[in-house]
Structure 1
Amino acid sequence: MHSRKALPALTVGAIGVVFGDIGTSPLYALKEIFNGHHPIPVTPENILGILSMVFWSIMALVTLKYVLIIMRADNRGEGGSLALLALIVDKAKSRRLTWVVSMLGVFAAALFYGDSMITPAISVLSAVEGLGIVAPELQSFVVPITVVILTALFLIQRRGTGAVGLFFGPIMAGWFAVLAVLGLNEIVRHPEVLAALNPMYALAFIGNHTGLAFLALGAVVLAVTGGEALYTDMGHFGPFPIRLAWFAFVMPALVLNYFGQGALLLNEPASIENPFFHLGPSWAMIPMLILATLATVIASQAVISGAFSVARQAVQMGLLPRMLIVHTSGQEEGQIYVPFTNWTLYLAVVALVLGFQSSSNLAAAYGIAVTGTMMIDTVLIAFVMVLLWRWNLLLVALVAGSLLAVDIAFFAANAIKIPQGGWFPIAMGLVSFTVLTTWRRGRGLVQEEIARQGLSMNEFMAMIGSVHRVHGTAVFMTSSKDGVPAALLHNLKHNQVLHERVVLVTVQTADTPYVSELDRIYLHHLKQGFIRVILRYGFMEDPDIPSALDHCSRFGEPFEMMETTFYLSRETVIPRLSRSRIAPWRARLFAFMTKNATSATDFFRIPNNRVVELGTQLVI
């Protein structure tokens, strides 16, 4: 529980980080519905019907599904598809169920990367497009200015976002306040628009214009994109500050702005060119443009930070190779920078801006990844309802089934946009899914090959009776908590000596985000000066082997780094030419990833001058 003193700061922080994506949707959602690739005629009946669909979509998909239901399923305070996956796998008894859930969770994480490429592109581009309204002669500069802003955003990632983050909350609070005021001003002038709060308008629109309503769903989803971020970012702020910010501030501001734009369209249908920027007075156009750009940069920052967190979780859970993870803050654990993820996203985002040229074109690509993720989240939460919450199966079918029906409708409506650009996030999702599953499968085959080549501890102990022992401590890193590490066998074969104390260290990732220091270390004394140490880390933590070994003193086993040598096995993976249990192209991909992974020395924070690496070849 957060203290009452911390609650205001956490709530403002949540406004700045969690709601950036959904908070910038008013820039382009209604414009795309009425003026996009499948335009809806701007008539009073259609405006009220669409507004009703937008309002009840927000209520069903964001408020009910994420805020009230899914945010209850936290994994020790952490959220997100991978955290939800770990939560279910921990309770699943069936091996087949574990496999199905794992594949769903991994694919949801893969789709997140497709989504995180489009969000910065469409958000910043939609804000800068306001320049064309302020000064039409500057329209040709919209794309170059967007690329410059995005380049600056990705460049500052390596410096850390802590200092910038202090301003996120107040700026976004100002943004939502402006959304509310602009919308309320127009609603007061045309209060008849509030009739759209009645769901009958949505049902009537769907009944009278079924085909149009289906096409409209593909753009209505733009109003709820970012809803999944409420769950993903839950670990940073806790569920209560996020819920408080949503109900007391963010949701009212969004609804007021959408209804304000609807009121404007009822009176001035020509404003559909860009209803958001036409909401304000002409003298406020430039300040609105500046504020919108700042808000979209902040929304992009939240998505980029989320991509870094997902990358770290994937590395810890054995879904990606080791990669460089830089901590940009000594105080905030969550502030990290992953260079590979940063520049991969940057290249994709710039390519999207240059390729699609406008937010309307990008809107065609947007939505498919979000709706896919939302569908998977609904399936995963259904498993949680059954396995963890022990809900009645009829209640699960009613609640999860209803939510899934809505998700499927949105996904189907977005599927027709695949030829117009929806193929991009799907392609990126499939590439990410292939990489994640290839790495996991390859690591499994490597473990099997190491076990096949290795010796049991009993066999090894019987061999070393006459081996010369030298002073000091040797630490052998091994991925298996059984058997003898390959590096130990190679060292004994070539040097014919063993240290007085030999420590076999295995790092394991728990199904929880964090592991307490009391549960971190398991130490077992074996025979003849051998010790096996198992170190457990959560999927949100970074391993630090020297620091963990320092804590072994409480077991009566102190470590002096200057008398300790770390032996690591550098594995060279050779794809099998003949038929094997993995496709040849996947074996080559796995070998490439293994070759380019960050060294174990850097990843485990082991002093370089205390490391000996011994090579071994493995054929898979």
Structure 2
Amino acid sequence: MTENNKSSRNIALSLGALGVVFGDIGTSPLYALKACFSGYHAIPLTQANVLGVLSLIIWSLFVVISLKYVTFVMAADNKGEGGIFALYELVRQSKGTKSASVMLISSLIGGALLYGDGVITPAISVLSAIEGLDVATTAAHDYIIYISCTILLVLFAFQRSGTDKIGRLFGPIMMVWFAVIGVFGALSMLDNPIVLEAFSPLYGVSFFAENGIAGTLVLGAVVLCVTGGEALFADMGHFGRKPITLAWYFVALPSLLLNYLGQGALLINNPMLIIHPFFSLFPKAIIFPIVGLATMAAIIASQAIISGAFSLTSQAVHLGFIPRIRILQTSELNPGQVYVSSINWIMAALSIFLVVSFKHSEELAGAYGIAITGTMVITTYLFWFYLRNIKKWNIVPAVLLISFFACFDLGFLIVNFTKIRGGGWFPILLAAIVAYIMYVWLWGREEIYGHIMDKGLRISDLEPEIEKYLLAKIPGEAVFLTASNYIPVAFLQHLRRNRVVHEKLVFLQVETQNQPYVDSGKRISVKKLKNNVSWVTVSYGFMEKPNVPVAVFQAWNQIAVSRDECNYYVGKVSIKFNPERTDNKFKRKLFILLSSISNNPVDYFKIPEDLVVTIGTGVKL
């Protein structure tokens, strides 16, 4: 690819990133500054307080987004993939068993919290945009809830089109959005340029000194200006680090700073405009087009976190954190772009539920923040292991950097816990449910694995077992899928009951590596055993889709088995509840339920159904 082509592609991807990655943080001006002076965080609207809050917002953007995520965390990509699970896979093998267990639990909680944010972001973004109609007319007030729910329904219905198409459609709209909010913010700022003094961090320090505990609690609203940070990292696999960085520094950051400064200048001149400070930046004559544009931007804001939730789900499936569910690839060029129907519609239902339940964006602001700040803290924790064990940083600079980030992350998180009664309970409850489901699935898989291993057989014991039961060899080729380095129970049942073995026998094990993609030249490993028996190990990255017939075809020169003529033997574990056990009753029932909704391995491994022979194994759990 020539340099001109690379530049053109980076520009196109940067535009697409504006339409997907920056929607969340790009619409924060709709409600962030307003939340600092109303609702749960009400403080006097004085010039000193406005400058103090602006200083906190400015430096939060600089430190949390520019420094932490764009400069450091996004450099910790796992072969191009970002997100908390990708980071976990990158660092987990560098520590001992105890540390790895803590990292696993932290990653499960962080991933679960991100789902909570994915539900709240669409609700608060769309609702706050539609509330702008109140600035122009009171006639639409009674219909704001219905309009918001309709828009959310359309948004989630559109997700099947794929991130690439959505990015191409939404990118130009977000470019217009950032230009508009930047220009009108700048015009307002020129009326009162004193707000430029807010770039001094001393105003933030003075704000805490003058307002005490009330000033500290305002951090619960200030964090709303950086809520898109984790989406930047989670969506990195959709566009790449460089396009996201370019879009941030050249478009998103300047526009956000100008708009926040413009709102601050407006409030210093007229504190009564706190009801809708964002929409008050615009002349009433154009308020309807601005509300329309804000609504489009709010829809796009939701896209950032929804896309991140899809990527997170795909990683969780391949890492074995949740049951196999159907994942649709939406781009031939970018394997990181996926759509997950079940997650999409669960998030849609919960977002609509929040709009109907909370009714106002100020109320939803109380629920917002805990989920994303919790994930930010866990990302910083995992990044510590990345610096020490992957990048080999000395302990002093690593401690200084992580401590600096932790001051912001923990400050935001602790303050947000004061909002639990006002709605913060919702993301905590949702995250707890999701994390528990992940935990039960991991626990149940270990239990089932133990049952199967009791019946399993090591490779070294294969020949004596065949000699013991074999009556005849039959023509043909058979591929037995195995989930471990043991002889699969399905083969043992076939041998012991039918007492025959195919002339060519292959045991095929699929492994998921701790990297998003595996080089095709290193994908297949073949171990030749005696009497036309082969053990094939096929490796995939956690962002790849396994395809067993293709793997068999690629290994043809070594195993001489045809992918279209052999029979694929798949073991099916039928799990039944064991009433005689008295321990973990709820966990066992939940795992059985989760197993029943897990996608058929035949579909997951893309094996033609007419070539599959299923052999069942009963397990009481």
State the match for 2:618 in structure 1.
Answer: 617
Give the Cα–Cα distance (whole angstroms) in 1 for the partners of residues 104 and 40 of structure 2.
Answer: 36
Per-residue deviation, 1:143: 0.6
Per-residue deviation, 1:354: 0.8
Q: 4+ runs of 1 displaced by more than 6 Å? A: none
Q: Is the 8 A contact 1:162 1:329 kept in 2?
A: yes
Identity of matched residues, %: 42
Distance 1:399 1:335, change over 3 A: closer
What are the within-5 Å matches in structure 2 for residues 57-136 of structure 1?
A: 57-92=60-95, 94-136=96-138
Per-residue deviation, 1:495: 2.6
Per-residue deviation, 1:558: 4.2
1:489 maps to 2:492: yes
What are the within-5 Å matches in structure 2 for residues 534-613 of structure 1?
A: 534-555=537-558, 557-561=560-564, 563-577=565-579, 583-613=584-614
What are the within-5 Å matches in structure 2 for residues 422-441 of structure 1?
A: 422-441=424-443
Q: Is the 8 A contact 1:537 1:543 kept in 2?
A: yes
State the match for 1:303 in structure 2.
Answer: 305
Q: Is the 8 A contact 2:238 2:334 kept in 1?
A: no
Q: Any gaps of 5 or more consecutive residues in structure 1? A: none
Q: TM-score, normalised by structure 1?
A: 0.96
Give the Cα–Cα distance (whole angstroms) in 2 for the partners of residues 559 and 298 of structure 1.
Answer: 48
Distance 1:231 1:138, change over 3 A: same
Q: Is the 8 A contact 2:51 2:264 kept in 1?
A: yes
Letter of the 2:608 partner, please give it. Answer: P
More moved, 7-16 vs 327-336: 327-336
Give the Cα–Cα distance (whole angstroms) in 2 for the partners of residues 83 and 313 of structure 1.
Answer: 7
Per-residue deviation, 1:587: 1.5
Distance 1:188 1:554, change over 3 A: farther
Give the Cα–Cα distance (whole angstroms) in 1 for the partners of residues 164 and 210 of structure 2.
Answer: 51
What are the within-5 Å matches in structure 2 for residues 222-371 of structure 1?
A: 222-371=224-373
Q: Is the 8 A contact 2:15 2:168 kept in 1?
A: no
Q: Any gaps of 5 or more consecutive residues in structure 2? A: none
1:125-164 residue CA offsets vs partner (Å, 9 max, x unmatched): 1111112222212111111111111111122223434433
State the match for 2:446 in structure 1.
Answer: 444
Per-residue deviation, 1:334: 2.8
What are the within-5 Å matches in structure 2 for residues 191-230 of structure 1?
A: 191-230=193-232
More moved, 472-481 vs 251-260: 472-481
Give the Cα–Cα distance (whole angstroms) in 1 for the partners of residues 127 and 267 of structure 2.
Answer: 23
State the match for 1:467 in structure 2.
Answer: 471
Letter of the 2:616 partner, please give it. Answer: G
Q: Is the 8 A contact 2:234 2:312 kept in 1?
A: no
State the match for 1:39 in structure 2.
Answer: 42
Per-residue deviation, 1:329: 3.5
SS in 1 for 2:93: helix
1:68-113 residue CA offsets vs partner (Å, 9 max, x unmatched): 2212211112111011101111322x11111111111121111111
Q: Is the 8 A contact 1:116 1:307 kept in 2?
A: yes
1:7 maps to 2:10: yes
Distance 1:226 1:36, change over 3 A: same
1:482-522 residue CA offsets vs partner (Å, 9 max, x unmatched): x2211112222333322111211111110001001111111
What are the within-5 Å matches in structure 2 for residues 476-555 of structure 1?
A: 476-481=480-485, 483-555=486-558
Give the Cα–Cα distance (whole angstroms) in 1 for the partners of residues 252 and 157 of structure 2.
Answer: 30
Distance 1:68 1:161, change over 3 A: closer
Give the Cα–Cα distance (whole angstroms) in 2 for the partners of residues 420 and 26 of structure 1.
Answer: 21
More moved, 440-449 vs 49-58: 440-449
Per-residue deviation, 1:300: 1.1
Give the Cα–Cα distance (whole angstroms) in 2 for the partners of residues 158 and 198 of structure 1.
Answer: 45
Q: Is the 8 A contact 1:24 1:299 kept in 2?
A: yes
SS in 2 for 1:508: strand
Per-residue deviation, 1:202: 0.9
Letter of the 2:603 partner, please give it. Answer: D
Per-residue deviation, 1:579: 5.5
Per-residue deviation, 1:530: 1.5
Q: Is the 8 A contact 1:29 1:220 kept in 2?
A: yes
Letter of the 1:47 partner, please give it. Answer: V
Per-residue deviation, 1:220: 0.5
More moved, 490-499 vs 101-110: 490-499
Per-residue deviation, 1:341: 0.8
Give the Cα–Cα distance (whole angstroms) in 2 for the partners of residues 406 and 206 of structure 1.
Answer: 14
Distance 1:316 1:30, change over 3 A: same
Give the Cα–Cα distance (whole angstroms) in 1 for the partners of residues 379 and 330 of structure 2.
Answer: 31
Per-residue deviation, 1:280: 0.8
Per-residue deviation, 1:578: 5.2
Q: Is the 8 A contact 2:466 2:495 kept in 1?
A: no
Q: Is the 8 A contact 1:552 1:559 kept in 2?
A: no
1:188-226 residue CA offsets vs partner (Å, 9 max, x unmatched): 111111111111111111011111211211100001101
Distance 1:136 1:103, change over 3 A: same
Distance 1:204 1:428, change over 3 A: same
SS in 2 for 1:4: helix
More moved, 382-391 vs 233-242: 233-242
